[in-house]
Chain A
Amino acid sequence: MSSSTNPHLSRRSLLGAFGLITAGVSLASCGSGSSGTGAAVGAGEGAAKSAALKLPTYKEFAGAAPDFPGSAEGLQAGYRKMPTPVASTTAPPLKGRVTALSQTFDTVAPGMKDNAYWQRLNAALGGELDMQIVIDDYPAKHATILASDDLPDLMWLPPNQGIPNVAPMLEAKFQDLTPYLSGDAVLEYPNLAALKPESWKTAIVNGKIWGAPIPSTPFGQVMHGNKTMWDQVGGLQCSSGAEFMEKVKELNDPARNVFALQPAYINVLHMVSQWFGVLVNWMATSDGTLVHRFETDQFKAALDFTSQLFRAGVFYPDANVPDISARLVNGTVAAEVNSGPHDSRKYWDLKPDAQTEILVPFAFEAGITPIYNMGYGTVGFTPFKKADEGKIRELLSLVNWLSAPFGTTEFLQKNYGTEGEDYTLDSEGNPVLNKSGLTNIPGVRSALNIMTSPENVLFFPGHADDVEYVHQQEQKLIAMGWRSATAGTFSDANTKYGPTATSAFYDKVVDIVTGRAKLSELDAAVARWKKDGGDRIRKEYEAVLPEDVRIFPI
C-alpha cells in the first residue's frame, strides 16, 4: 500500500493490512496449534540460509527534493505539494495478458471492462493487467485458489494475515527470483533497486528472493484523538497512567452517549504496554535469548491497567462498532488506535477540517522508559507463478513500473489516472480526482498498491500543514522507536503455529480485559501459548538472531 501518499485509502485498510488487530477483533482462529508435520523445510534451516543471501543493491531514486527530509531510520520524507512528475521507465512493460490476485481495502470499483481508468492503465502498460480483486477474507481466497492449482501470474502474499506454511508453499508453486534480483542484477529494474534493503528482507524466505517487497509505513500503531475533545481536558498528551485515567474518565459521558475509547481492547493494550516500556513481540536480551511481551511483568501490569479502564466504563460499550472513525470525528468517541501516524488523513474523508492529535507514548509511572513500536515496514511481497525467463522478465518489468516512486509519471498514472479524464489539478498543482476518477480509481488503486509499492512519503493534498505536524510527531516517535528483534528474519514455526497460538491467547486476554476472566488466568494462557508454538518460534528465531541485534534493556 503506498499508504502515505494515498489520500483516499479507506479506514478499512487498517483491518487487513496491518498485523495487530485494529477493530477490536482478534486476527484469526481459536484453533489447536498443530496442523500436522508436513513442512518441507526443517525448522530454522531456511532462516539460516536467508541470513546468507546477497540483498539487491540499493540505488535511491533521484527525484524532487522533499520539503521535510526523510531519514535512514525510517522517517518518511514529506511533500507539501506534488512535484513535477518525471518518467522512470522507457518502454511499456507488458507484451500480453497478465493475471493477478490482490485485495482492495477501498470501495469496490467497476470491473476492467467498465472501468475507463483501468483500461487507460492497461494501455500505458502495453498489455492487460487482469486482477482478481478480493474484498474480504483474503487468506481464505488465497488458500482456495492455491488448492485449485490454477494460479494467477502474481499472487499477493500478506505477511500478517496468517497465511500458513509460507516456505513450503513458495518452494512448491512459485518462482525463485534470486538470479534476477540479488546484488547488482536488480539494477536492471531501477524502481525495484530504489526499495530499501530493510524492505527487501520481508521477501526473503529460505535464502531466496521471492518477489518485490511492498513497503508501507515503517511506523506502527498510534492513538489518534479528537483534538477538540481532548483540549477540554488539557490535551491528549499525558505524563502518567494516572493522568490518562483521569482524563478519559472526565471525557466519558455515557448519559450523553459519549465514550472515551474505541472498544479495540488488544490495540489499547498495545498502547498501554508501550507506556510500561515493552515491545509488542520479541525482545533480545543480553544473553542471546529472546523474551516475548506476553511473558513480561510489564505486560501483566499493562493488562491490569487496561482492565481497569474497562471497569471504569470508558470503552465504547458494544464490541462491534463499524463507524468508529465517524464517531471520533463527530465527537462521540474521543480516541482510536490506528495503523500509523499517516492515518490522520483518513478523518478528512469524513470531515474536511477534522482535527486530530497523535499520542506520543509516555512513562506510565516514574522510573519507566516508554518505548514506541515501529511497524513491520512492509505489507509483504508478491510472488510470481513459475514460468520461463521471458515471462518472468515481463512480470519483473511490470512490477518495476508499478513500484515507481512518488514524483514519477507512472506513480501519477497508477494513483490518479489521466489528467482531464480522471483528475484535475487544484490551484497548488495537486491532483484531485473528479467524479469518474472517484468511481473508478480507489478500489483498483488500493488493490494495486497492496501488491506493489514504492517507498512511502507523506503527502496530503490540501493539508500541507498537517504534513508538517505528522512529520514532527514521527520524529518524536522514532526517537523512542524500537523494532522487533526478529524483524527481517524468518521462522517456519511462526508461519505455521504463530497465528493460531496468538489468537487463542488474545481471546483469553480480551476475556481478562472485559472481566470475563481473572488476571490470575494469564499465567496459564501464557503457558499454553508457549506450548502451542511460542517456545518453538522462540527457538527458531534465536538460532538466526543477527549478531548486531539491538539488546533490549529488560
Chain B
Amino acid sequence: MPVTTRPPSGLAAPPDGAPTVRPAQDGTSRPPVPWRTRLRNDRQMLLMMVPGVAFLLLFFYVPILGNVIAFQDYQPYLGIRESEWVGLDNFIGLFDDPDFLNAFSNTLYLAAWQLVFFFPIPLLLAVAVDSLVSGRMRRWFQSVVYLPHFLSWVLVIALFQQLLGGAGLVNNALRHLGADAIPFMTNPDTFPLLVVAQLVWKDAGWAMIIFLAALASIDTSLYEAAAADGAGRWRRLWHITLPALRPVIVLLLILRIGDILSVGFEQFILQRDAVGAQAAEVLDTFTYYSGVVGGGWSVGTAAGLFKGLIGLVLILGANKLAHTFGEAGIYQKRAS
C-alpha cells in the first residue's frame, strides 16, 4: 500500500499539523539538515510516538530476550542466570512428544479450516453491505455484524452452549419432539466446523471493516462507466470491485498466513474438556499447559519459539510469493 510520509527535509511543518505532500524527487542532493534541527521540527511527532515505542520495547522486545530459557532447563527458583544450559534438548524433546505433535497437527488442521472457511466471509459480507442502498440500513447491518467482536470468548462459547449444547435450546427442542440430541459441542470430528462457526459469528463483521474501507476508495465513476457500457452486476463485481480489492486481500492473506499457527487460545482452552485434548489441543494451549501449569517453562518456550519461527518463514515466503505475482505485499525493498 502506498504510504505517505513526512518529507525528510527542513521544510517547516504547517503549525496545525495538516498532512504535507512529498515533494517531487528531483534527484539533486540538498544540503543535509542538521540532526538537532530535525529533532526540533519533529518534536511533536516524536513525542507522540514515545508511548507507543516504549510500549513496544517494554512488552514486545524486552520479553523476546526471555526466549533464552528455551535453551535452558529453566527453574523459577534459580532464575535465568543460574539455570542449566541444555542446548537444543528442549526442541528435540518436543518432537519426541506425542502431545506436541498432536497439538501441532491440530493447529495446522484448524488453521486450514479457518483459512478456507473464515477468510472469504468478511469479503462477501463487505460486498453485501456495500451493495445496500439505504445508509441507515447499512449502518444498522454493520453494527449488528461487528458487535459480537466485542464479546469475550467466554460469552461466545456460553452462548453457543446455551443454543447448541447437550442441554441447550436446540437439543431440548429435539428431545421434546422425540428425536435424539445432536452432540454439536462435544463431537471431536465436527469440532473444526464448530470452531469456524464461532469465529465467523464473532469476528467476520470486524474483519469486514478493512474491506469496506477499501471498497469506499473505489472510484464510483468506474462503476458508472461500466454500467453505461452494459456491464451487469456480476461483471462489475468481477472486473472492478475484486481487482480493486486485490492488494488488500493479498495483504490480509499474508498477515493471516504469518499468523497461521495462532489459531486462538481462549476458544480452545474453554472447549478442551468438551471434545478432548486429542481434538482441541493447539500449540498455544500446549504451551500454557506444559509451560506455565506443568512447570516446564523451557519446553513451553521452545514450543512458542518454534511457532514464531514457522510464522516468520511463512510470512517471508508469502510476501515473496506476492511480489512474484506483482503485488505490493506487506513491505517492499526500496527501489535503488
Measured CB to CB, the residues of A under 8 A from B are 24-26, 28-32, 34-38, 137, 139-140, 143-144, 146-147, 149, 162-165, 168-169, 172-173, 254-255, 257, 259, 316-320, 499-500, 503-504, 507, 510-511, 514, 516-517, 528
Contact B299 A147 (CB under 8 A): no
User: Max chain B CB contacts within 10 Å: which of A32, A147, A165?
Assistant: A32
Contact A320 B273 (CB under 8 A): yes
Contact A32 B295 (CB under 8 A): no
Which among B20-28, B36-44, B71-79, B317-325 touches the partner chain?
B71-79
Given contacts A32-B299, A36-B74, 17 further A-B pairs with CB under 8 A are: A24-B273, A28-B289, A28-B293, A29-B290, A29-B294, A31-B300, A32-B296, A35-B294, A36-B73, A38-B75, A140-B292, A316-B167, A318-B167, A319-B274, A507-B276, A507-B277, A507-B278
Minimum C-beta distance from A20 to chain B (A): 15
Q: Give the bracket for the number of chain B residues in contact with chain A.
A: 35 or more
Between A and B, 13 residue pairs with Cβ closer than 8 Å are A28-B293, A31-B291, A31-B296, A36-B74, A37-B73, A146-B76, A168-B75, A172-B77, A317-B171, A320-B270, A499-B294, A499-B295, A517-B278
Contact B99 A38 (CB under 8 A): no
Contact B276 A164 (CB under 8 A): no
Measured CB to CB, the residues of B under 8 A from A are 73-79, 83-84, 86, 89, 93-94, 96-100, 103, 161, 165-168, 171-172, 175-176, 181, 183, 185-186, 188, 270, 273-279, 281, 285-286, 289-300
Contact A30 B290 (CB under 8 A): yes
One of B79, B273, B278 near A147 (C-beta < 8 A): B79
Contacts of B176 in A (CB 8 A): 255
Contacts of B84 in A (CB 8 A): 36-38
Contacts of A146 in B (CB 8 A): 76-77
**Residue in chain B with minimal CB distance to A501:** B294
Contacts of A149 in B (CB 8 A): 79
Contact B276 A172 (CB under 8 A): no
**Residue in chain B with minimal CB distance to A259:** B167
Contact A31 B286 (CB under 8 A): yes
Contact B76 A139 (CB under 8 A): no
Contact A168 B290 (CB under 8 A): no
Contact B294 A162 (CB under 8 A): yes
Query: Helix, strand, loop or mixed for chain A's interface?
Result: loop
How many angstroms between the C-alpha atoms of A31 and B275 in the bound complex?
Answer: 18
Contact B73 A35 (CB under 8 A): yes
Contact A255 B292 (CB under 8 A): no
**Residue in chain B with minimal CB distance to A142:** B76
Contact A516 B278 (CB under 8 A): yes
- Assuming the A-B contacts A32-B97, A165-B77, A255-B175, are A317 and B293 also in contact, with contact meaning beta carbons closer than 8 angstroms in the complex? no
How many angstroms between the C-alpha atoms of A319 and B76 in the bound complex?
Answer: 34
How many angstroms between the C-alpha atoms of A419 and B286 in the bound complex?
Answer: 50
Contact A164 B161 (CB under 8 A): no
Minimum C-beta distance from B159 to chain A (A): 13
One of B100, B161, B286, B296 near A318 (C-beta < 8 A): B161
User: Max chain A CB contacts within 10 Å: which of B79, B277, B295, B300?
Assistant: B295
Minimum C-beta distance from B267 to chain A (A): 13
How many angstroms between the C-alpha atoms of A317 and B97 in the bound complex?
Answer: 32
Minimum C-beta distance from A150 to chain B (A): 12
Minimum C-beta distance from A383 to chain B (A): 12
Contact B293 A140 (CB under 8 A): yes
Contacts of A259 in B (CB 8 A): 167
Contacts of B274 in A (CB 8 A): 318-320
Minimum C-beta distance from A533 to chain B (A): 11
Please give me the 5 A-B residue pairs with the lowest Cβ-Cβ distance, nearest first: A317-B166, A31-B290, A36-B73, A164-B295, A29-B294
Contacts of A36 in B (CB 8 A): 73-75, 84, 86, 89, 298
